[in-house]
Amino acid sequence: MQHFPNSSSSAASLRLAALTLVAAAALSACGGGNPGSVAAPGGASGGTAPTTPTTPTVPAAPTVSLALASTGGQASNSLSGATPLTVQATVKDASGNPVKEAMVTFATDASLAIFSPSAGTALTDDQGVARISLRAASLAAGGAGKLTATASVNGATIVGERNFQVGATTLSFGTVTTGAPQIQAYNSTDITVPVLAGGAPYPNQVNVNFTSACVIAGKATLAATVATNNGVAKTVYRDKGCANDDVITVTADGVSVPATVPLKIAPPPAASVQFVSADPVEKSIVIRGQGGINRTETATLKFRVFDIFGSPLPRREVTFRVSDPASVTLNKSTDTTDENGEVITTVNSGSVATSFRVFATLPNTASATRPDDISTTSDSIVVTTGLPVQRAFSLTAENYNLEGLNKDSSPTSPATRVQVMIADSFGNPVPDGTPVVFQTNMGSIGSSDKGGCSTVNGGCSVDFRTQDPRSHEKNQPATPCNTGSSALRSDDSARAGLATVCASSSDGTNTIFSKIGLFFGGSGATKVYMNGNPLGNGVTDLGTVRAADSKVFVLQLNDENLNPLPFGTRIEVSNAVNAASAAIVPATVPNIYPHTAAGDDITGTSITRDTPAQGSSHTFSISNPNAASCTAPVTATFNVTVTSPGNVVTTIPFKLTFSCP
């Protein structure tokens, strides 16, 4: 904002200019002579004569004058938050006439007072008067200030000044009132509070804050801040299931003492009780005194009570009972819901295996339309031993015939996975973390940090690798499977190339175990049988068949120990001349368990050195592709090619004669 000199200094400047003009005129009248000389009367020259001094004339200047008045029109220079002032600036020209439509710019200390309108400018009316409202800058503002009004008249800038006093404003609340002293659950009511200054409604806008314990808890709503209107703030309180008496607290800037008002809220009626959860989450606890890893004898059950609007209901009594009080112990028969509407009870197992439920009831909730109290039941909780049993100890492998007699697997690509599944006497999976130990007399099993695994959901698995040793001594190493007094123990198989894997665990008193046999298969088909007879060296002659017929034969493929070739070994007919092959059944070596004539023996226990060949059998069908044009006997040749997963190839040559009758 441009600053101009005040009115008193402007007047002094004008008076100085006037005196200068008067002196110049006097000097001109004297003809520019000696100022100490005086002309003779009649214009004759000669001696001096005394003269009478004259008073200089000050020319008139435009003015702007300021006046302050209260809202009632009385002259006043006292300003406060409750008592704004009207500023009146009167602008006149040099002749003292009112100046119409002159723009007047008002200015003052913004920390003490502000103008309305905030631009701080106004135009004069027909009487040369410009008006603007002056308000305290804040309720806390106080001190003396200077008000200036600046206008421009005929190119001259004029300024008027006026001092005023600002007094700090003290506000207070009147009596807070509610639309009703008590409301039903989930109903609403008005909350009204006047804001006073000096006992009278404060006319300026004030932001009033409302809150309460139920609002903070999210169980009621209020407008957090409401602006006053004519000195009154009003909001609506709406219950959202507070289920308790509440106190509304009112605060505002400039009001040192908060106001409060109590409100009674009827609790909502209960509508339902629901089962929430059980701990342990698998809903299974162990028989008293039988322990077990991560097993507990105590079940904790949680329920939640809801009101008729589906909100959790606090401070409601709930009673409990169990369906089988003779087998389990209910530790708490009654409790009160917390602020989340939740309540818990606990149950301890007894000495027998069983299953039970817990009933939760809201007493005194029966009515004419509901003859019984509100209640619900938990999910079934099972009481089990939790201990592994021998009859539920299952051991298997992904593959049983491995390429391992002459080939190592790698640390990252095991030859197979060995899996154990364990259950308790009720057929339930044993607790997570039940340890299982694995041992083998060939290759290696397990991981670098432990030789076994710990169950998750009743099972776990480990890697098995083909490596040295590839031969074994009787019952070495000693394992629960081949030592001890258990009726289930047995010697490991003595067959070359057949590894024994033993897995074991404990029920706390007894060791339970199981074992399987895994073939370390050779990569090549070393010992081959056709239709039960061993093949010799060189080309095998299949004899003669009519050109219109096919030659069907079966090959049994074994490694050097008469054990199966590795799982996945491919069988193909290649280099066929004058011969065509139908599909080979099967075209790859399948998964083969250790077996005898009586059937599979997954443990390998019954497989001895003298047990017949364990290899896979494959059916071939060879035909004459030119049978229709046959005019003379034709000799066909072909190879049976055997390719292991490690790409070791065995070629078995054959020939066959097709006769042409």
User: What is the rounded CA–CA span in Å between residue 240 and residue 219?
Assistant: 5
Whether the model clears a pTM of 0.85, i.e. scores above it, the answer is no
Q: Is the pLDDT of residue 4 over 70?
A: no
Contact 539, 653 (CB under 8 A): yes
Q: Is the pLDDT of residue 159 over 60?
A: yes
- Residue 616 pLDDT: 97
Could you state, in order of their start, the residue ranges of all structural domains in the chain? 63-167, 171-265, 270-384, 390-521, 527-659
Look at 139 and 647; give whichever has higher pLDDT.
647
Rank 383-387, 425-429, 524-528 by mean pLDDT and report only the highest: 524-528
Region 356-375 average pLDDT: 92
In the numeric block, which tokens belong to residue 202? 């404060």
Nearest CA among 139, 134, 192, 132 for reference residue 163: 134
φ, ψ for residue 23 (rounded to 5)?
-65, -40
What pLDDT digit, counting tens, does each position of 381-394 carry?
Answer: 988 877 889 999 99
- Residue 660 pLDDT: 87
Q: Is the pLDDT of residue 2 over 90?
A: no
Q: Is the pLDDT of residue 507 over 60?
A: yes
- Residue 503 pLDDT: 97
- Residue 256 pLDDT: 86
Domain 63-167 falls under CATH 3.40.30.10: no
Region 349-377 average pLDDT: 91
Maximum Cα–Cα distance for the chain, whole Å?
Answer: 186
Tell me, yes or no, if the two domains 171-265 and 270-384 fold the same way.
yes
User: What is the rounded CA–CA span in Å between residue 416 and residue 202?
Assistant: 88
Nearest CA among 301, 512, 273 for reference residue 389: 512
- Residue 27 pLDDT: 37
Q: Indicate the helix (H) or strand (E) that contains 12.
A: helix 7-29
Region 216-242 average pLDDT: 92
What pLDDT digit, counting tens, does each position of 243-279 carry?
Answer: 789 999 999 988 889 999 999 998 888 889 999 999 9
Q: Is the pLDDT of residue 310 over 70?
A: yes
- Residue 292 pLDDT: 63
CATH class name, domain 390-521: mainly beta
Domain 527-659 falls under CATH 2.60.40.10: yes
Cβ neighbours of residue 358 closer than 8 Å, sequence gap 6 or more: 301, 320, 321, 322, 323, 330, 345, 347, 377, 378, 381
pLDDT > 90: percent of the chain: 66
Region 524-542 average pLDDT: 95
pLDDT band of 54, cuts 50, 70, 90: low
What pLDDT digit, counting tens, does each position of 311-346 carry?
Answer: 888 889 999 999 999 999 999 999 999 989 999 999
Contact 111, 145 (CB under 8 A): no
- Residue 451 pLDDT: 85
CATH number of 270-384: 2.60.40.10
pLDDT band of 183, cuts 50, 70, 90: very high
Pick the CATH number of 171-265 from 1.10.1200.10, 3.40.1360.10, 2.40.50.140, 2.60.40.10: 2.60.40.10
Look at 44 and 598; give whichever has higher pLDDT.
598
What pLDDT digit, counting tens, does each position of 480-489 carry?
Answer: 999 998 899 9
pLDDT band of 9, cuts 50, 70, 90: very low
| Residue reference for tokens 């509508």 | 271
Cβ neighbours of residue 178 closer than 8 Å, sequence gap 6 or more: 189, 190, 191, 192, 237, 248, 261, 263
- Residue 55 pLDDT: 66
In the numeric block, which tokens belong to residue 64? 């702007």
Q: Is the pLDDT of residue 21 over 60?
A: no
User: What is the rounded CA–CA span in Å between residue 67 and residue 134?
Assistant: 12
Nearest CA among 277, 274, 246 for reference residue 260: 246
Instruction: Return the number of other C-beta atoms located less than 10 Å from residue 448's C-beta.
Output: 6
pLDDT band of 431, cuts 50, 70, 90: confident
Window from 29-33, 105-109, 316-320 with minimum mean pLDDT: 29-33
Q: Is the pLDDT of residue 33 over 50?
A: no
Window from 242-246, 286-290, 365-369 with minimum mean pLDDT: 286-290
